[in-house]
Chains A and B, each alone.
Chain A
């Protein structure tokens, strides 16, 4: 099956820890995205990548980092510099141009 997967589904982080969220797609899409979803605030863009080995900051990149070493993978690291990381994180991909995005099932991160 073609699709986009995220792991883990639930993640708990202690104060001061860095954690990495996985996102993998086998759709052969060029573009990949990370969003953060908080209640009542919709989706906010953290980082996006239009091509391998290149990525751009979104609207709320502070405290996060990404890499894009392979077309299929776009992991997100939530660093200890992110002061309020508890949220639902969504990864998406698209072919670019005018096409819709495909979303993963999400990772719910909770800071203990």
Chain B
């Protein structure tokens, strides 16, 4: 079955330190990969995507993600965390074949401590 895993329910990091939010996937073929952020009682906001090309993708608010095909991972990173980055982060995958369905991970809550 196709799936996305976010192994950490919560990640705590001190302000100014680098952060990583992990995502691994299991889909057939070459997937399209996405990261979204959700603030309390709001919809999801798109951060970045990987379609093809350079494995390091840069997105909104200083976030970037690294695609690793051999490890089937797409970890979200930021060199220096801000308190305002505290939110719920979702990784999503859309297989390249078949329908327009997106598969979401269960989310990782990021807490940046001042």
Contacts and interface: CB of A to CB of B under 8 A. Distances in A.
Contacts of B96: 98
Contacts of A41: 106
Interface in A1-57: 4, 6, 31, 33, 35, 40-43, 45, 48, 50, 56
Interface stretch (A60-68, A69-77, A78-86, A104-112): A104-112
A99 B100 CA distance: 10
Given A42-B90, A98-B32, A100-B49, A48 B101 contact: yes
A45 B94 CA distance: 13
B43 A42 contact: no
A103 B44 contact: yes
Contacts of B43: 4, 6, 90, 92, 103-106
The binding surface of chain B is classed by DSSP as loop
A45 B101 contact: yes
Interface residues of A, number: 28
Contact of B99 (A35, A43, A50): A50
Contacts of A92: 43-44
Interface of A: 4, 6, 31, 33, 35, 40-43, 45, 48, 50, 56, 58, 88, 90, 92, 94, 96, 98, 100-106, 108
